Amino acid sequence: MTRASPSVPICRMTADNPLLAPWTTPFGLPPFDTIRPEHFPDAFGQAMQAHLDEIAGIGADPAVPSFANTIEALQRSGRDLTRVQAVFSNLVVSQGGAALEALDRDWSPRLAQHGMRVALDPALFARVEALYARCEALGLAEDQRRLLERTHLGFIRSGAALDAAGKARMAAITERLAVLHTAFGQNVLHNEKTWSLPLAETDLDGLPDFARAGAAEAAAERGLPGYAITLARSLIEPFLTFSARRDLRQVAHAAWVARGTHPGAHDNRPLIPEILALRRERAQLLGYPGFAEFRLADSMAGSVEAAEGLLAEVWEPARRKAAAERDRLLAVARAEGLEGPLQPWDWRYYAEKVRRADYDLDETELKQYFVLENIQQAAFDTASRLFGLEFVPQPGLPAYHPDLRVYEVRDAGGHVGLFLADPYARPDKRSGAWMSSYRDQEAMDEAISPIVVNNNNFARATPTLLSFDDAETLFHEFGHALHGLLSRVRYPAQSGTSVRRDFVELPSQIYEHWIALPETLRRYARHHATGAPIPERLIERLLAARSFNQGFASVEYTGSALIDMALHRHPAPESLDIDAFERDFLARIGMPPEIGLRHRPAHFQHLFAGGGYAAGYYSYLWSEVLDADGFEAFETAGDPFEPAIAARLRQLLSAGDTRDPMQLYVAFRGRPPSTAALLRNRGLAA
């Protein structure tokens, strides 16, 4: 998740570059209509120098270190760079294109090097260290004390306390990792952009109308005749679910799981050992045995053992449930004439048949009621009922792409922020779904409102129809957006989603519960052609089937979390043969061959296109413990919009990183979390 700064004018900068001039756009929105790739090098160069000048000024201050002249001064520094970098990092993944990708390759190591110059500045660290030593005597407010403690810890974990040789090596590692992370992500994007499966009318057997429409749009977008399946999840998963052509399902699945593994310039397998080795070396420089221990030391879990214990608690029940699911699928497949074992490209196809048979639930019929615009409105209206928010379209504001929709967010007190929605897949856009920010809320010197963006990759069609999983994804990312929008903190470093990795998914995952409420479905799940509400029988069957196929889902996710931890605990990662390691690991944990990993290492962008989820992919499950347990508060009250509980949830969302996350959770829930609701929701309880 990116950070962003107020839209203040950049000092000593000229007006002919929109990144360097004051922004006069409403609400401080970046002037997307005037920003071009060639504007970034000059803006980065000037903003980086301005930041270094500010850091030098803090370090050279002759006054005794104080919270104001050191920590608050540090919070004010780098605003110019943060503003430029926020626009750049968001456009690279949302807009993409050859020019921005080239700039990303060029500037990612420079920006990493710049960050380490700040983090390893000896005069600055000396002041922070002196303040930290006097923390008890400073009389700080709770948020200030936590900011001082977390700032000091950040310097320590960046290597500021190392000797000169250690600092130099730490800087070199960070710079090299930035290069490798960028290359990894661009290699996956290259595979996704260049592969497609052309389809003729005779190849569409089994595909429902919405899947055919999506394939037609994808073909047109790529200049191909007829239809095409690409590696966008919103296209390939429906194809694997509905296509009666087993041969084509196999081709599509093979391409999907092979991303990042093609020999040549875009092969990610050689990058992984180097990334892992550099992370391990960095952790050892800081006194940890390995990277996983380093990462988990600053988490809610607190240790590798705690994270692995949670994964183990889920793994065996998930495997047992998946085995029962496989047997049921095989029974249907055998009746249809399938010989031999069930293959990974068969699972979704026969799972859909079983779902129809056992729950009388047809994904094709269900999808007719989930229109993108209606589900987005459901997310807005849920936030209105819970938190008193209003989302007002602003169609006249500048946008970086015609797909983008901009909304002003208001509450009873007036302006809250801006919400940007970018829902559709495009060839140059990064795959997946995510929330980010162009500007974070703060109130240190003045009230600064947030600007957040949700990116999804739904297959474009008219109308755009979502699966129920797609609808949950939209609500998930919108939960992240609310975390940013509802932030009410003083200091930018504590704003919104700037929390520990295994806490950041709580706001997103708990919000998913509201799309599954019968009252939400009755109001917003309406037939795309007639406008009729979804029939009660479909609601009943949908909710009855929610634990269906959860063995599969739990196995493919938990396996990915387990291999993440294993890779980051490997004692000699530089010598890894990643294909052999993956094969041996899956055999060791007993991965069902019909399922496989949700993310194979060579395209596991959570881990290797950046460091955010490295040795931290378990955090989705950790946060699911919190969200399942937390939503029980509403269930126990008998009202999913109970005002007092909603108010406590808003307090949790608004607090950012001003308090320890477990303290925030206990204040919301009244007690520590339990895993019981998680296991029950996934159908894994004994």
Catalytic center residues: 477
96, amino acid identity: G
Q: What would the 3-class secondary structure string for 551-607 be?
A: HHHHHHHHHHHHHHHHHHCCCCHHHCCHHHHHHHHHHHHCCCCCCCCCCCHHHCHHH
- Let me know the angle formed at the C-alpha of 186 by 184 and 188, rounded to the nearest 5 degrees: 75
Reduced to 3 states (helix: H, G, I; strand: E, B; else coil), residue 237 is helix
Comparing C-alpha atoms, which of 625, 630, 619 is closest to residue 558?
619
Tokens (6 digits) for 545 = 């089937």
Q: For residue 271, what are the CA distances in angstroms to 111, 265, 275? A: 20, 11, 6
Q: What would the 3-class secondary structure string for 486-538 be?
A: CCCCCCHHHCCCCCCHHHHCHHHHHHHHHHHCHHHHHHHCECCCCCCECCHHH
Q: Which residues contact 401 (CB under 8 A, 6 or more apart)?
A: 94, 95, 422, 426
Tokens (6 digits) for 134 = 């006097």
Please give the Cα distance from 276 to 392 (Å, whole number): 46
Terminal alpha carbon distance of the chain: 37
Identify whether the C-beta of residue 253 lies closer than 8 Å to the C-beta of residue 346: no
Please give the Cα distance from 116 to 236 (Å, whole number): 41
- Let me know the angle formed at the C-alpha of 331 by 325 and 332, rounded to the nearest 5 degrees: 95
Please give the Cα distance from 492 to 575 (Å, whole number): 41
Please give the Cα distance from 28 to 8 (Å, whole number): 9
Kindly give the pairing relationship between strand 414-424 and strand 390-393.
unpaired
Residue 593 CB neighbour total at 10 angstroms? 12
Provide the 8-state DSSP code for 4.
-
Q: What is the CA radius of gyration of the chain?
A: 25
Q: For residue 245, what are the CA distances in angstroms to 199, 219, 251? A: 11, 19, 10
Please give the Cα distance from 353 to 336 (Å, whole number): 11
